Structure 1
């Protein structure tokens, strides 16, 4: 009898243990680790997004691509990049980028981005905030103006506008601009505008001034006197006759 009781107890212990193990095995599974965020690859984006090969080559040669990519992976602040088209570089004559040092060229490329993600709607407030700091730091600032929804950028040397939105998904904004952004911190104050040409003198003849322009045979026509020589002779002769008559009349009074 005691052996039967011991067998029953052991059986119950085994059954309870197996039930506990089964309950643990069918419990709520632990959550899977969150997938790593899919960062935007700026090199791939610039390669396929448009005619930006010249700008990309400068990004890679100056190693600025690493700075921009690190900021693009920053989901807190993000980045906004202003990308000139290839034609903006090819049409650039003065000042030339060929005479820049490697450090100046790096600052110029850094000047084309700001360390924050901005949508087009944000530029309306930026136009009221004054100069905005860029990645180049220091005096390398940009001025924005929102004119009827079109965003204009001013550097002192360059006045351009955002011609299209290439990519705008937080934390990366990529905008196309028509000109290379040339900072005053590198090139100095821009040259003063050329003075306006002086207005040409008015040579239209009026009713009171006779024309002195060239005639059909190429000679210059001069104003003619309103009194002809014959008229002057007649007037002089008449005055002489009047004087003779006056003298004769006076002599008759003494006779």
Structure 2
């Protein structure tokens, strides 16, 4: 009986010691999930979907400058400002002037169309005052005349025609001309100006027949002519009748 009691006590003591050891075990620490990577603007997709910037994007891709721009766009500390000429701007430049450029010259020309920092539209007045400004290659002058922003480089005076995208760290602005730095073009390339837009409907002079009241005036004029013709005819008939009476009187 005493042996059974001793075994029971020993068993209970072991269970108590085991629970104490388990309760003193170090707690499990869960490793936090890694923070999601920031979402960057894909410049190639942006230029492809935004509008008529296919020629500019083709040159960026051909020269691998798109990689340089994308790397800068991913740098949220500085960002990037891209000046994208419209397709019509490239079409206006003499084709030989661009096709005769070396690979390095073409690459420099593309690098000349961006600044290695993000600038919203509100910053361009200060940029104009601080001109010339540094591009990825060479320098250019920024102008701000009564809110009309321009970029002057060598043989080109381009106008900023629209804001394609502007959210830190990326800004993309559309230009109506290709920048033509003298470092690349010693002489001015031939530029074909775009055709003048057709006049808007309603701005030209209306034909007289379409003018308000033209039909009424025409009807009045026609009526007046008919009245005059009738009076002239009646006068001639009366004069003939008088002549006949005179001739008859003389023959009597």
TM-score by structure 2 length? Answer: 0.67
Report what 1:24 is aligned to.
27
CA offset digits 1:45-92 (Å, max 9, x no partner): 111111111001101111111111111111221111100010111122
Structure 1 residue 98, shift from structure 2 partner:
2.3
Instruction: Report the Cα offset of residue 101 of structure 1.
Output: 1.7
Aligned to 2:100: 99
Write the distance in 1 (CA, Å) between the matches of 2:144 and 2:178. 19
1:62 aligns with 2:60: no
Moved more, 86-95 or 171-180: 86-95
In structure 2, distance between residues paired with 1:115 and 1:167: 16
1:8 and 2:12 are equivalent in the alignment: yes
Q: Give the Å deviation of 1:130.
A: 1.9
Aligned residues: 185
Give 1:169 deviation, angstroms. 1.7
Q: Which residue of 1 aligns with 2:150?
A: 152
Q: Which ranges of structure 1 fall in alignment gaps of 5 or more residues?
A: 192-255
Q: Which residue of structure 2 aligns with residue 178 of structure 1?
A: 176
Listed one character per residue, the Cα deviations across residues 12-64 of structure 1 (whole Å, up to 9, x for unaligned) are 2222344456x835x7x432111112222111111111111100110111111
| Correspondence for 1:128 | 129
Give the deviation of 1:164 after TM superposition. 0.9
Q: 2:53 matched to 1:52?
A: yes
Structure 1 residues 90 and 5, CA gap change in structure 2 (3 angstroms): same
1:134–1:142 Cα contact (<8 Å) kept: yes
Q: 1: distance between equivalents of 2:147 and 2:24?
A: 68
The structure showing larger relative contact order (alpha-carbon pairs under 8 Å, at least 6 residues apart) is: 2
Runs of 4+ in 1 over 6 A off after TM superposition: none
Residues in 2 aligned to 1:4 and 1:121: alpha-carbon distance in whole angstroms: 86
SS at match of 1:24: coil
Q: Normalising by the residue count of structure 1, what TM-score does the alignment of the two structures yield?
A: 0.66
CA contact (8 A) 1:49 1:166 kept: yes
Displacement of 1:94:
8.5
Deviation of the 1:2 alpha carbon:
4.1
Q: How does 1:1-255 map to 2 (within 5 A)?
A: 1-20=5-24, 24-25=27-28, 29-93=30-94, 96-136=97-137, 140-188=138-186
Contact 1:156 1:189 in 2 (8 A): no
Structure-2 change in CA distance of 1:32 and 1:77 (3 Å): same
In 1, Cα distance between equivalents of 2:19 and 2:95: 90
Structure ranking higher in helix proportion: 2
Which residues of structure 2 form unaligned runs of 5+?
190-252
